[in-house]
Amino acid sequence: MLTYLVRRLILVLPVAFGVSVICFLLVQIAPGDPLTAIMPVDATAEEQAVMRAAYGLDKPLPVQYAIWIGNLLQGDMGKSIATGRPVASEVFGAVQNSLLLAVSAAIIAFPIGTALGFLAGYFRDTWADRAVTALSITGVSVPNYWLGIVLVIIFSVNLGWLPSMGAGPGGSQSWAWDWAHMRHLILPAVTLAVVPIGIVAHTVRALAGDILTMDFVQALYAKGMSRFDVLRHVARNAAATALSVMGLQLGYLLGGSILIEAVFNWPGSGFLLSNAIFQRDLPLLQGTILVLALFFVTMNLIVDVAQAAIDPRIQRT
């Protein structure tokens, strides 16, 4: 297991380097001048040159990348062009809010999706299977931003049960562990959980249905094992693949919530990223994309190690 872990850690290094290069180049080749957001329209050529030199935009791209990656290794992600604040403080504050939203949605989605998937897989080709399949297809097909708007209209506007904007009372952008703030988390978390519920349910249903038809399951029944014990063996055989899907979905929940955060004005990384795109804020764009991409890389590493711990056969591949 230790050898497998070391091998996976070594493989992460070139992936992280490639991610940093792609993040840097994608932002650089985007059209437009990032300084137009902060410079006056009548700025002279000399003033533009001074501003470019201040942000290092007058240097060749390889030099800019070397400076950027060198600063990153020292914990310096630069300063936002639009606000002048350190990029690290803005990005990590937003990522914490997005991680809170993503984990909350995962806590809702993964148990429900797993339970529905096992129900459909166990009662395959019955009304229960057809109902769960219809629900999972609907969950994946419905645009989550549209669902968010519908939930806001029903539970916030019409019924007045739940707030619809911000992370706290009065549209607050900060978070605290009290009911006043947790009420703001319910609608975006439920909205964000709908798609993963459908994906996890569909995946687990296919896994459970296939495993239940295998010869070893019939052998377990022939040995006199109870239904609960047999299902426990089925769950263990399905766990590695299901865990891989859940890990990818958690990454999606963190990085793919731009529209949900915009609908609910949630101060997360997606909301920050959309603002940085409109403001053409290069340092903030690069920092946000890099942190989200590295989260995916880290999440995949954790899932790989967890899969190997659950299924030792993976260590030999």
Report phi then psi at 175, rounded to 5: -120, 145
**Residue among 140, 138, 132 at smallest CA distance from 205:** 132
Residues 6+ apart with CB under 8 A from 16: 294, 297
**Number of residues that make up the chain:** 317
Closest CA to 91 of 311, 268, 296: 268
**CA-CA distance, 195 to 197, in Å (whole number)?**
5
304 has a pLDDT exceeding 80: no
Question: Shortest CA distance to 139 belongs to which of 151, 129, 149, 147?
Answer: 147
Q: What is the spatial distance between Cα 149 and Cα 156, in angstroms, rounded to a whole number?
A: 10
Task: State pLDDT tens for residues 212-235.
Answer: 777 787 787 787 777 778 888 888
Query: Which tokens hold the place of 48?
Result: 């533009």
For residues 243 and 310, is the Cβ–Cβ distance under 8 A? yes
Count the Cβ atoms, other than its own, within 10 Å of residue 193.
25
- Paired with 106 in beta bridges are none
Residue 48 one-letter amino acid: Q
Condensed to tens digits (0 to 9), the pLDDT of residues 251-263 reads 788 776 778 888 8
Q: Is the pLDDT of residue 12 over 90?
A: no
The predicted-structure confidence for 164-195, as pLDDT tens digits, reads as follows 887 777 666 667 777 877 888 888 999 999 98
Which of 102, 104, 145, 133 lies closest to 248 in space, CA to CA? 102
- CA dist., res. 37 & res. 14, Å (int): 35
pLDDT of residue 300: 78
Instruction: Return the higher-pLDDT residue of 102 and 270.
Output: 102
**Per-residue pLDDT tens digits for 116-135:** 988 888 888 888 888 988 98
pLDDT given for residue 42 in this prediction: 67
Whether 104 shows a pLDDT value over 80: the answer reads yes
88 vs 79, 93, 296, 305, CA distance in Å?
A: 8, 8, 18, 29
Q: What does the alpha-carbon distance between residue 29 and residue 32 come to, in Å, rounded to a whole number?
A: 9
Is the pLDDT reported for residue 112 higher than 90? yes
Q: Which residues pair with 172 in a beta bridge?
A: 168
Please give the domain boundaries of the chain with CATH numbers for all domains.
92-275+293-310 (1.10.3720.10)
Q: In the chain, which ranges are continuous DSSP H helix?
A: 2-28, 45-54, 61-73, 87-122, 127-141, 144-151, 179-212, 215-222, 227-255, 258-263, 269-279, 282-310
Q: Amino acid letter at 66?
A: A
DSSP single-letter state for residue 79: B
The two structure tokens encoding residue 4: 């497998």
pTM for the model stands at 0.77
DSSP labels, 160-193 = --S--SSSBGGGBSS--SSHHHHHHHHHHHHHHH
pLDDT at 149 over 60: yes
Q: Is 122 helix (H, G, I), strand (E, B) or coil?
A: helix
